[in-house]
Structure 1
């Protein structure tokens, strides 16, 4: 479970996240949306303990800033929008990075670590790429490998920053369906940022709309994705069409 209260983040003296309150229940998928510069990625990084903040953030009832780095990595796994990958790194080696919290200093991965990574690679259908370099894979394949590293951590909480931003519509759906399936199978709690509002509404249990660093709307997709909210905070004209799983947002020319 994730709980944030009065979360504030300053970067270079500028207030980027301004008093955010946020809750994500165990097993829930919450999408954070908002226009560019709203503070979505910054809030996510602060919740993951990767940026200094004021206020309070708790993971499973424990303040994130009191967790040892290894303990935090066993609790929460983050997939950044553009993960840094060393040149020439192979899929297996990258996925094994997720086992770092379990490997003693100056130690090596154990047979159990290798088995855990193999199981994750097979579940994501990328085991056949174990010996290949990441840069040789397609966008959708790389995204599954990024997820594999996160899942190999064994964390119950996933933070996903624009997990489909570089993917075409087919690979977007593939990755999101995969995340949803793994969430159900493993009881994962997911907090994600996303720009595509229709896609976000299709998969989110709840949504949080940020604008200028603050929460301006929260609730179900139907409660948040309204023509009024989007006109006010995105400065855009849209038409909302009822979809099978959530509202579909269609831009309307002026």
Structure 2
């Protein structure tokens, strides 16, 4: 298994946000965590990324998360958050180069191998022409590709995506997710994501986990999790679920 989470709990500011969550992600698999606001999705992802303290056990590629150094973890796991911090004025090349930090010695400089990894990441995501551009000058979809390029340059084999399509229009949502899916298929890459858009999440995930109140309420294939009954119970939503070519499509239904 790439990720094995057993009975994980997380407390933040005195409140239990994640409660006894267990799930697995196989190598090369795409698992998406869904759930209403406040369900604990992002907190769970941050626990896997080593950004918050947790109870229970998280194993990454057969190694306990508790014994991994920050540098070792960064060589295994890359995380793209909802709002990555971008230093003002930073150009694309320098931002993607930050992904090589786990391989550069303290006070050292990047090597030829580091620069080659960055060039390859820029090329794979069609960003070479933007290398000298400031990030703030790019569109939302272009910036999201830059964030993925940094993760790719990092050389990690587990990609954590926290709401990767936030603030993107539908065209850029599809572009970004299809790009991640292609990178996964090219391998070796495993994806654990959180998403709000249920239809697009169901089209790309191999399996889904529904969190509600910090606990696992359902898990399985998208067709097993995205049901009208489950979504009504845990989202309080009136929806119709239609079977699509690549997964179930969730359509909101207006109240009479």
What is the TM-score with the length of structure 1 in the denominator?
0.99
Q: Distance in 2 between matches of 1:150 and 1:22?
A: 23
Q: CA RMSD in A?
A: 0.5
- Three-state SS of the structure 2 residue aligned to 1:52 is coil
- Three-state SS of the structure 2 residue aligned to 1:115 is helix
- Three-state SS of the structure 2 residue aligned to 1:236 is coil
Q: Distance in 2 between matches of 1:246 and 1:162?
A: 19
Equivalence for 2:92: 91
Say whether residues 1:247 and 2:215 are aligned partners.
no
- Three-state SS of the structure 2 residue aligned to 1:104 is coil
Offset from partner CA, 1:152-206 (integer Å, 9 cap, x none): 1100000000001111000000000000000010221000000000000000000
- Please give the residue correspondences for 1:63-78 in structure 2 after superposition, counting only pairs within 5 Å: 63-78=64-79
- Please give the residue correspondences for 1:161-176 in structure 2 after superposition, counting only pairs within 5 Å: 161-176=162-177
Q: Distance in 2 between matches of 1:195 and 1:66?
A: 32
| Length, aligned pairs only | 254
Per-residue deviation, 1:65 = 1.6
Equivalence for 2:125: 124
- Three-state SS of the structure 1 residue aligned to 2:192 is strand
- Three-state SS of the structure 2 residue aligned to 1:96 is helix
Equivalence for 1:28: 29
Equivalence for 2:200: 199
Equivalence for 1:111: 112
Where structure 1 has 5 or more consecutive residues not aligned to the other structure, the ranges are none
Q: Distance in 1 between matches of 2:243 and 2:68?
A: 43
Per-residue deviation, 1:215 = 0.3
Offset from partner CA, 1:33-76 (integer Å, 9 cap, x none): 00000000000000111110000000001111210110000000
Per-residue deviation, 1:253 = 1.2
Q: Distance in 2 between matches of 1:253 and 1:105?
A: 57
Say whether residues 1:16 and 2:17 are aligned partners.
yes
Where structure 2 has 5 or more consecutive residues not aligned to the other structure, the ranges are none
Moved over 3 A (4+): none
